[in-house]
Amino acid sequence: MELIRLTPQDLTVAASLVLLTAALSWRLRLGVEGRLVWAAARSIVQLLLLGVVLKTLFAQANPLLIGLLALFMLAVAGYEVMARQQRRFGGAWGIGIGTLSMFVSSFSLTLLATRLVIGIEPWYTPQYLIPLLGMLLGNTMSGVALALNNLTENAVRQRGEIEARLILGHGWECAIEEIRRTALRTGLIPIINAMAAAGVVSLPGMMTGQILAGSPPLDAAMYQIMIMLLIAVGTSLGAIVAVWIASRRLFDERQRLRLDRLD
Amino acid sequence: MHGLTLAHFQSPGLAPIDLSLEPGRCLAVSGPSGSGKTRLLRAIADLDPCPGEVRLDGSARDDLPTTQWRRQVGYLPAESHWWRARVGDHFSPSPHDLLHALGLEPACLDWEVARLSSGERQRLALARLLANRPRVLLLDEPTANLDQLNIERVERLIGGIRETHATAVLWVSHDPAQRRRVASRGLEIRNGQLEPEIWS
């Protein structure tokens, strides 16, 4: 079965439905029509741009260009992790913690997947590398951001409890231990839920795409399994790195709780 | 034996402090709210960064591991915080003598923290701190929520520990009569300066 190509007219139909929804929001005074239209317009432009960029990239398969795009995606993901924080670390730490944990969660696993699991030649073949990286970045990002946000929020809220333990001579790791554990758990819940619902409640995006493109459903399921497992591992690794560095940064060399390091 | 000494210690809001607190002595500190008493105690306990020198029995604070410093320089904040649901989970082993001296039954270790009265919390927080056997005590209004009987218990307990273990005590109190009862001298924060309080 050949993929039926969408024409600009088909997209116009979908887009006018969005406009209709915006009109409804305006009529019901929900107040989201502006944001809805803006976000829809953004996603259209971003995805079309990505399509153009990928087209050139796939045609050339230039490792340097692929690397640049990968770094750009990483930087945006790192920024996005920081932007989702209610309380951010000041200075370079804010963006640094996000970017480093996204690097660990996504880059390392994408490399592992392309080199060892799928085994494509060359390993940087953009048709595999870029979608895999994008999917890992996009899906691990929310878990990492959630874990980090939970850590700093609880550290601020439970300041008294943390300091009560420091005062009694407990070490910083002991004083933040439970908050750390809660943060990690919070970060992992979305992917655990997604894995539990996969195939029963939801048909995951990658599998849907492959089936639409004409892949046999079982092949599509196998790819989806690999991606889900990688996302679960990536989210765990990324959240552990983020929570570990951030909780260390909450204390100084004399084991004082330094909430002033958060903006 | 030198006790606690501060040299050019710059606590926020206060002029640089030079102070020496001998073992077994109690120094009362008073001053209007917001004058920096709590910040001074926090800085000595090494909870806030603060320039200047602090020594305990001759050894500089920065030469000791922080955890050890905080065990020896025991700070009692005005408000106590508890990180577990059950009282007893904050103690190991259970300090029965301390509880008894503070008028608390051993059974209180099985109580839930959420159900404690403010006076019980305050006495239990003191027991929790004293169980570490600190060399110096930094007490921030330790009897603020207590009735007369328990105020006497706390004063007697601290006084006894001060004498038998030569513990140095820095006691922040709003009550002039209490300051004279528990301390041998008093300091008052006035316009950012620590000045001797005149007791006639």
pLDDT digits (tens, 9 = 90+) for B143-197: 999 999 999 999 999 999 999 999 999 999 999 999 999 999 999 999 999 999 9
Q: What is the pLDDT of residue A2?
A: 67
Structure tokens at A218: 């079982």
Residue range B56-77: average pLDDT?
A: 96
Instruction: Name chain B contacts of A165, Cβ cutoff 8 Å.
Output: 83
pLDDT digits (tens, 9 = 90+) for A165-174: 999 999 999 9
CB nearest B71 (choices: A169, A254, A255): A169
CB nearest A167 (choices: B62, B75, B82): B75
Sequence ranges of the domains in chain A: 1-60, 61-261
CA distances from A6 to A10, A13, A14 (A): 6, 11, 11
Sequence ranges of the domains in chain B: 4-196
pLDDT digits (tens, 9 = 90+) for B71-99: 999 999 999 999 999 999 999 888 899 99
Chain B residues 18-47 with CB within 8 Å of chain A: 45-47
Say yes or no to pLDDT of A1 above 80.
no
State the nearest Cα–Cα gap between B47 and chain A, in angstroms. Answer: 5
B127 contact A CB<8A: no
Structure tokens at B136: 């110096």
Say yes or no to pLDDT of B10 above 90.
yes
Q: Residue A214 CB: number of other CB atoms within 10 A?
A: 10
Q: What is the pLDDT of residue B35?
A: 93
Round the average pLDDT of chain B to a whole number and report it: 95
The three-class DSSP label of residue A203 is coil
Instruction: Name chain A contacts of B89, Cβ cutoff 8 Å.
Output: none
pLDDT digits (tens, 9 = 90+) for B27-39: 999 999 999 999 9
Say yes or no to pLDDT of B22 above 80.
yes
Q: What is the pLDDT of residue A61?
A: 85
State the nearest Cα–Cα gap between A162 and chain B, in angstroms. Answer: 8
User: pLDDT over 70 for what percent of chain A?
Assistant: 99
Topology of domain B4-196 in CATH is Rossmann fold (3.40.50)
pLDDT digits (tens, 9 = 90+) for B110-121: 999 999 999 999
Q: What is the pLDDT of residue B187?
A: 96
Q: What is the pLDDT of residue A120?
A: 87
pLDDT digits (tens, 9 = 90+) for A38-60: 999 999 999 999 999 999 999 98
Say yes or no to pLDDT of B26 above 90.
yes
Say yes or no to pLDDT of A204 above 90.
no
Residue range B40-66: average pLDDT?
A: 95
Adjacent-strand bridge partners of B76: B139
* Cα(A111)–Cα(A119) distance, integer angstroms: 10
DSSP-assigned letters across all residues of chain B: ---EEEEEE--TTS--EEEEE-TT-EEEEE--TTSSHHHHHHHHTTSS---SEEEETTEEGGGS-HHHHHHHEEEE-SS---SSSBGGGG-SS--HHHHHHTT--GGGGGSBGGG--HHHHHHHHHHHHHTT--SEEEEESTTTT--HHHHHHHHHHHHHHHHHH--EEEEE-S-HHHHHHH-SEEEEEETTEEEEPP--
Least confident of A63-72, A116-125, B64-73, B132-141: A116-125
- Mutant choice from B71, B81, B90, B138 vs A, greatest count of A C-beta within 10 A: B81
pLDDT digits (tens, 9 = 90+) for A2-25: 678 889 999 999 999 999 999 999
Q: What is the pLDDT of residue A116?
A: 85
* Cα(B131)–Cα(B113) distance, integer angstroms: 18
User: A20: left (phi > 0), else alpha (psi -120 to 50), else beta?
Assistant: alpha
Residue range A114-137: average pLDDT?
A: 90
Q: What is the pLDDT of residue A4?
A: 83
Sequence-distant (6+) residues with CB within 8 A of A119 are none
Contact B89, B64 (CB under 8 A): no
If one compares B138 and B92, the residue with the highest pLDDT of the two is B138
Q: Do A164 and B46 touch (CB under 8 A)?
A: no
B75 contact A CB<8A: yes
pLDDT digits (tens, 9 = 90+) for A224-237: 999 999 999 999 99
Residue range A123-143: average pLDDT?
A: 92
Q: Do A254 and B66 touch (CB under 8 A)?
A: yes
Sequence-distant (6+) residues with CB within 8 A of B30 are B37, B172, B173, B174, B176, B179, B186, B187, B188, B189, B197
Structure tokens at B45: 């306990």
